[in-house]
Amino acid sequence: MSITLMLMWDYDTPTGFAVSSLSRQADPLSDYACTDRILELLARHGIVSTFACVGVAAESGPLPVHNPAQIRAIHAAGHEVASHSHRHELIPALNRPQLIETGRISKVALEDCIGAEVAGFVPPWNRPFHHPRRLAISTKDLRAGGWHWQHSVSSLCEALAECGYYWVRVLYTPVHEQIARKLWPGRARAIRPTTIDCYSGVYTLRLNYLGYDDQLINWLAAYQGQNIPGQDLALVIYAHPHGIEHRNSQHWEHLARFTRWYSEHKDAYNITFTTPAKWLRRQSAGRLLAHPA
Ligand SMILES: [Zn+2]
């Protein structure tokens, strides 16, 4: 059995901080300084990850709004660059032309910056949560989108396909999981492989975990302990570069411990880090998926 980890960073930059109540007070340069530290640490452990960047940061112009040099450095270090929209827009509040515009202009800005294809999209705030085809009903998205028009995971995919993306990170909670969480709030959530679906030719990667703290290490160790032959676990985890300064599961101490733990156990546990574009290509080569666009 093997464990494949896809670590994603939501590279919000001051454009994202400005619209996020949690980060509005953040130092405008914090994502950049933290990214330098993260890149150095990941390189030391041979870890590849994915940076979902707001498109405007890739455009040329002064700091702190723009930092194309760092996005080029991220790409040059072997990490995948994905779009995090152009200006960190709330997707359920956009109409379809607005959604296609932010998808397109961020993709063009990032591709012009790194000189390579941008295949993935990470929606700000992980919205929409609404995904009726997987029995996930979100009234929060209904309020944001208004009753006249509304996005779901599949309508987002349909718009992203038109922009030329072929993967998207998604977060949703099916009704039966919502009920289970209400009934047993203290119960630890089980780790399970990410769910891959495909709508309009865009693969959805369901998010599994925020951060890389001891709970994740314990989960992975327990999963490995079950030793299910032939079972391959793929997990999508995410954090924010400036999150390494926050006292939560994204903190630098957790990241340093997790990367050390990975280096010590990667061979025995058969753990690899990869990026969605590489992983989807490998799955399609193994005929588990149709070939990505
Ligand atoms: Zn964000």
Phi/psi of residue 57, nearest 5 degrees: -65, -25
CA of 186 to the centre of ligand 1 (A): 28
* 73 within 8 A of 41, measured Cβ to Cβ: no
Work out the mean pLDDT of the chain and round it to a whole number.
90
CA of 53 to the centre of ligand 1 (A): 8
Q: What is the mean pLDDT of residues 33-47?
A: 98
Q: Return the closest-CA partner of residue 269 out of 80, 31, 5, 34.
A: 5
pLDDT class for 188, splitting at 50, 70, 90?
low
Look at residue 148 and tell me whether its pLDDT is greater than 50. Answer: no
CA of 125 to the centre of ligand 1 (A): 6
The full DSSP string for 61-130 is S-TTT--HHHHHHHHHTT-EEEE--SS---GGGS-HHHHHHHHHHHHHHHHHHHTS---EE--GGG----
CA of 161 to the centre of ligand 1 (A): 21
CA of 91 to the centre of ligand 1 (A): 12
Model pLDDT for residues 97-131, shown as the tens digit of each residue: 999 999 999 999 999 999 999 999 999 999 998 89
CA of 177 to the centre of ligand 1 (A): 25
CA of 12 to the centre of ligand 1 (A): 5
CA of 239 to the centre of ligand 1 (A): 10
Strands 50-53 and 120-121, how do they pair?
A: unpaired
CA of 188 to the centre of ligand 1 (A): 26
Model pLDDT for residues 240-277, shown as the tens digit of each residue: 999 999 999 999 999 999 999 999 999 999 999 999 99
CA of 82 to the centre of ligand 1 (A): 12
For the chain, the domains span 2-285
Q: What is the mean pLDDT of residues 147-176?
A: 88
Strand partners, 83: 53, 121
Q: How far apart are CA 123 and CA 165, in angstroms?
A: 12
Q: How far apart are CA 46 and CA 152, in angstroms?
A: 36
Q: How far apart are CA 65 and CA 6, in angstroms?
A: 27
Q: Is the dihedral of CA 172, 140, 200, 167 positive or negative?
A: negative
Distances (CA, A) of 21 to 8, 16, 18, 26: 21, 10, 8, 10
Look at residue 91 and tell me whether its pLDDT is greater than 70. Answer: yes
Fold topology of 2-285: TIM Barrel (3.20.20)
Instruction: Point out the least confidently predicted range of 80-94, 143-157, 226-240, 259-273.
Output: 143-157
CA atoms within 13 A on the CB side of 146: 5
CA of 88 to the centre of ligand 1 (A): 6
Tokens of 89: 């827009």
CA of 9 to the centre of ligand 1 (A): 9
Look at residue 210 and tell me whether its pLDDT is greater than 90. Answer: yes
